[in-house]
Amino acid sequence: MWESRKGKEKVSSGCNTSAPKKLVLWGLKPTNSNLCMVAQDVDTPLPDFGVGYCGIHLLSVIHEPTHSMLYQNFTIIPVFSHSFDWVIVQILENWGHSSFTCIYHIQIYGNI
């Protein structure tokens, strides 16, 4: 389960432009893991996360700041029953602000 929290009350329309819009969640595994070997066989090129790690695509979502009073939950379909050494939240786009994207809280939790 991945949770994106945007403050303690409904977000005002003035803050919406700096809120994240399109997000991707990656799980990192050592490149010598079986999961990375399988991921390399896919035709889609994976981002470079540095020497020693490969990224496994876990989730792509659109965050809707006007639809949430406290937070939004995004569920990862349990395709992989693996834990990950690191996770990376990649923000591809925000709701329009040209200088920055504002994130207050991200929480990732689960069990195997």
Residue 82: pLDDT above 70?
A: yes
Which tokens in the block code for residue 19? 């809120």
Kindly report the CA angle at 73 between 47 and 58, in degrees rounded to 5? 25
**DSSP H helix total and E strand total for the chain:** 1, 6
Reported confidence tier of residue 6, pLDDT bands at 50, 70, 90 = very low
Instruction: For residue 3, give the amino acid letter.
Output: E
Per domain, the residue ranges of the chain are: 2-108
CA distance 53 to 28: 6
Residue 45: pLDDT above 70?
A: no
CATH of the domain spanning 2-108, picked from 2.60.120.260, 3.20.20.140, 1.10.600.10, 3.30.590.20: 2.60.120.260
- DSSP letters, 46-74, are PP---TTEEEEEEEEEE--GGG-SSEEEE
CA distance 74 to 48: 25
Reported confidence tier of residue 44, pLDDT bands at 50, 70, 90 = low
